Structure 1
Amino acid sequence: MPAHAVRTFLGPEKIIGISCKTPEQAQQAWVDCADYIGCGSVYPTNTKENNTTVGLDGLKTVCMASKLPVVAVGGIGVLNARAVMEIGVPSLKGVAVVSALFDRESVLIETRLTGSNIGGT
């Protein structure tokens, strides 16, 4: 469902994100009035079956085409979060670390480890 249709149901105060793998999808998300883009899967992940990866080059391409903030998703954790954040595009605003947290004993510890690896807290 396009973001503008979702906005009709949820109202102007809700934050709406759109999943994108291509520059064309990123441009459409802008037209459809999304608030941000989730781009990926950057790396292989077990959280979704049959999910093709875009890699760092695909992420960078989508970011460069986007007028919206972008969050990188898919297979990102403590060992590769810094490489993702260092692709050098201003529209990349963060990473989603679902795979890093999935089935972990302590979500808090894993979150802090990933954040400290990319210079956050």
Structure 2
Amino acid sequence: MSKRIPTERQVLRCIYDAYEPFFPVEGSNIGKVMVAIDIEAVAKKLGTDKHVLFGYLYYHLDHKYRYQTGENSYVHLFAPKAGELRHAINLPYLAAILAGQDQEHSKFAWSLGVSLVALALSVGAIIAQVVSSQ
């Protein structure tokens, strides 16, 4: 039986919900935005493989969202090692990405809802016309 592959939004939401209560982290500058996550625990919550989750965070999501701030300086979403932290996530950045995704999801849900109402009204009008013409 293969394990399921969670969506980007599910991964980010799971991590945010699990680690937001522990933010901000006291300590060095890197610890103030980067939070160590337990890849195995997050993977278990998501019902996926820990290696798949690591690869998804490191090779896909970090690559997708990291951006350059200077000649040799980047802001990362995820880092396998950040200072003394292992498997670190930039929690404020993750929150910003997740907020944007939640907004897009909300727009989609509203659009879908309006479309379904319009479809129901159209079908109702067709049925009413067929019934009244008999």
TM-score (norm 1): 0.25
Superposition TM-score, scaled by structure 2 size: 0.24
- Greater CA radius of gyration, 1 or 2? 2
